[in-house]
């Protein structure tokens, strides 16, 4: 299960942003996409989320061909936290999280939908914000609300685009441990992270993206090798062995 991407190419009308991208996201693991700004990470997540249409290549989510799924079937399989989410109306936190139940709701949200929304709000640790207008929250609080919204959706696969941005240290740690709980309960999580040290400490598998292509590893090469990171980010780094991986130090 998990996500299978095969020979996926994409452009926004100009040059190709993704070129023949092929990789697997193992089910029930925490996989992390690493790569420079502009390498195509957000585009890749949007394609897997089913938000951008693609003509070339294939995406399978838990074995289902994404192209053959309806909008509500996709919503039950894949939850997506975008990098940017501009609030428009001053809905309460509870109502914003309830919109995560949209694919289950026919007319008005029922008791079960409200329960699921409350559960997600508790899991993320923002019960104290329940009745606050979303528009009045800080960037970090909004980020947590959007994460609760994805969880209320109860998808099999969770896609997170820079979920740690805006979060203070305690909320970063809380979210990383929540991700660990989600994968332990069988969910597949695929995230874009900018901080390689957090990625290598917490990730199970890594997808390296360079100029819209998958950067495959050579024999014996590991994602946290300094030469690999220098090649991926075009910058000098040193790495220090840490646990069974490494800490990355920009120099």
Which residues of the chain form contacts with ligand ADP (CB under 6 A)?
A: 12, 17, 35, 37-43
Burial 129-162 (b: 16+ CB within 10 A, else e): beebebeebeeebbbbbbbbbbbbbbbbbbbbbb
- How many angstroms separate the CA atoms of 70 and 243, rounded? 44
- 153 CB-near residues (< 8 Å, 6+ apart): 75, 76, 79, 100, 101, 103
Closer to ligand ADP by CB, 12 or 89: give it: 12
Nearer to ligand ADP, 48 or 117 (CB): 48
Residue 172 Cβ, how far from ligand ADP at the closest point, in Å?
20
**Cβ distance to ligand ADP smaller for residue 31 or 156:** 31
Q: Which is nearer to ligand ADP, 210 or 222 (CB)?
A: 210
Task: Choose between 39 and 228: whose C-beta lies nearer to ligand ADP.
Answer: 39
Collapse the DSSP code of 12 into the 3-class scheme (helix H, G, I; strand E, B; otherwise coil) and give the result: coil
Shortest distance, position 40 Cβ to ligand ADP, whole Å: 4
Query: Cβ of residue 37: shortest distance to ligand ADP, in angstroms?
Result: 4
- 96 exposure class (CB count in 10 Å sphere: 0-12, 13-18, 19+): buried
Largest CA distance in the chain: 56
> Cβ 129 to ligand ADP, closest distance in Å?
29
DSSP string, 50-104: T-S--SEEEEEETTEEGGG--HHHHHHHEEEE-S-----S--BHHHHHHGGGGGG
Give least dist CB 109 to ligand ADP, A.
Answer: 32
- Assigned token pair, 8: 């996926």
**Smaller CB separation from ligand ADP, 33 or 175:** 33
Task: Please give the Cα distance from 7 to 206 (Å, whole number).
Answer: 18
Whole-number Å distance between alpha carbons of 40 and 47: 11
Beta carbon nearer to ligand ADP, 57 or 109? 57
DSSP 219: T
């Amino acid at each position: 299960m998990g996500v299978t991407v095969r020979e996926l190419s994409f452009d926004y009308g100009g040059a190709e942003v993704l070129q023949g991208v092929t990789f697997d996201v193992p089910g029930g693991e925490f996989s992390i996409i690493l790569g420079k700004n502009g390498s195509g990470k957000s585009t890749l997540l949007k394609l897997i989320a089913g938000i951008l249409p693609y003509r070339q290549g294939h995406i399978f989510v838990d074995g289902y061909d994404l192209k053959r799924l309806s909008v509500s079937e996709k919503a039950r399989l894949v939850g997506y936290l975008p990098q940017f989410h501009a609030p428009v109306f001053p809905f309460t936190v509870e109502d914003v999280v309830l919109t995560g139940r949209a694919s289950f709701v026919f007319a008005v949200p029922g008791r079960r939908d409200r329960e699921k929304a409350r559960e997600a709000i508790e899991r993320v640790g923002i019960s104290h914000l329940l009745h606050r207008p979303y528009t009045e929250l800080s960037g970090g609080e909004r980020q947590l609300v959007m994460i609760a919204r994805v969880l209320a959706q109860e998808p099999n696969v969770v896609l997170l685009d820079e979920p740690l941005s805006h979060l203070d240290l305690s909320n970063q740690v809380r979210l990383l441990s929540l991700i660990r709980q989600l994968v332990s309960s069988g969910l597949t999580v695929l995230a874009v992270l900018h901080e390689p040290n957090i990625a290598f400490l917490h990730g199970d598998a890594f997808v390296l993206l360079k100029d819209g292509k998958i950067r495959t590893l050579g024999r014996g090469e590991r994602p946290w090798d300094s030469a690999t990171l220098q090649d991926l980010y075009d910058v000098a780094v040193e790495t220090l062995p840490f646990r069974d991986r490494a800490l990355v130090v920009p120099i």
